[in-house]
Chains A and B, each alone.
Chain A
Amino acid sequence: MSNRAMQWLVLGGVAAVGVAMTSSGVFASWVATAQATTGSAQAATVSLTHTDTNGTTFNSGVSDLLPGDYVYRYANLVNTGGLAQDFTASLSGSGALAAAGGLQFAVDSCSVAWAGDGSCAGTLLPVAGARDVAGAAAVPLGQVAAAGTSHLRYKFVLSPSADQATFQGTSGTVSVTIGGSTPVVGGRDRTAG
């Protein structure tokens, strides 16, 4: 080892000892710290309920339908989440009677709870006109604020022009899937709360 290398080695050793001494023990400097914790920042929740109301039971069936006969089913769609949500209803059918030209549906909403006789004392809003269940596109139900309720009425109709040779004695069911999604992505300045 050359003299120059030896000098560098000694210098490095001294520096290492210095660092070790000033970082602990009596040679350590005195440090004051303060800790602050944010308030609770909770992620929002999205959820919904879809509850039978007005004396009807969604999953009860009806037999001996004639062409043009219809069945009302009432449900309260409640936004139980913490954010406003845009809701849609996607309908699908099963069984021969749910084929094209058989079962149809329509959706109305009322600004207040439906009356027992099926009338709307508030504002009646036609949401979706009568159309075949088969191949139906999703129906926008509108936006419901957090904790808000949408008073829905589903009308299931056996098409007045149902082909008798095709549908006599057949049956079907309809599934309604309510989907809710937050209308905004986020990215908002929530500094003020």
Chain B
Amino acid sequence: MSFSRRLRWLPAVLCGLVLATGTPIAASAQWHSTKTARTGVLRMAAPAYQFSGPAPASFTIAYTVINFVDTAYPVLTNTGTTPASFAGPVLSTGGLPLGSAVAVKSCTTAWVLGACPGTETTLLPATWLSIVPTVRYQNAPVPAGGRVYLQVKVGGFLATATVTLTVTSKVLPAGGANRTAG
């Protein structure tokens, strides 16, 4: 293409460029306004607990006798700020011949000489320790600050063994409350 021929195309090219840039500008000429608001921190509750005894996370019962039934009375306290349910396996260490079993009950008040002055509930009927039973420590969520008075009976052929109550499940109950006021 000669120079003069190219020159004749120049006006057409320029017109195309003007149209191509002008059209979208006009179509996108809406005006915009924005404003952002941010909520405060919304935090989910965190359940917490502790057992009576020297180790708040668990309760260990040590046995050094054979063919004997022993009873312990741990207390589980909900130290969280909301109701919660707790559950966990009963772990054992040491020799566990067949016939070693555990049973767990709860009382709404402190046990007195092996008797429950309040309402007694069986949480775990006598169950072989060898299957590592799981205990739900309450039938209804424990209120914040609430206590569960437990009675743990361990029997069978235990020789220098320990049985430990643990918590591996901490569950908050369903809410559904209007928390607008805090």
Contact = CB atoms under 8 A, between A and B. Distances in A.
Contact of B33 (A65, A85, A176, A185): A85
A139 interface: no
A191 B32 CA distance: 25
A185 B42 contact: no
B39 A64 contact: no
A169 B42 contact: no
Contacts of B33: 46-48, 81, 85, 179-181
Nearest to B144: A64
B43 A66 contact: no
B176 interface: yes
Contacts of A73: 39, 180
A182 B45 contact: no
A185 to B, nearest CB: 5
B182 interface: yes
A56 B107 CA distance: 43
Contacts of A173: 38-42
Which DSSP category, helix, strand, loop or mixed, fits chain B's interface?
loop
B30 A182 contact: yes
Nearest to B171: A164
A171 B41 CA distance: 6
Contacts, number: 168
Interface in B11-37: 26-27, 29-37
Query: How many B residues are at the interface, by size bracket?
Result: 35 or more
A27 interface: no
B39 A58 contact: yes
B180 to A, nearest CB: 4
Nearest to A175: B38
Nearest to A176: B37
A117 B172 CA distance: 28
Interface in A142-192: 156, 158, 160, 162, 164, 167-187
A60 interface: yes
B38 to A, nearest CB: 5
B177 A50 contact: no
Contacts of A60: 40, 182
Most buried by B among A102, A173, A183: A173
A172 B42 contact: yes
Contacts of A178: 34-37
B139 interface: no
Contacts of A185: 26-27, 29-30
A67 B37 CA distance: 24
Interface of B: 26-27, 29-47, 81-82, 170-180, 182
Query: 3 closest A-B pairs (Cβ-Cβ)?
Result: A66-B175, A61-B40, A169-B46
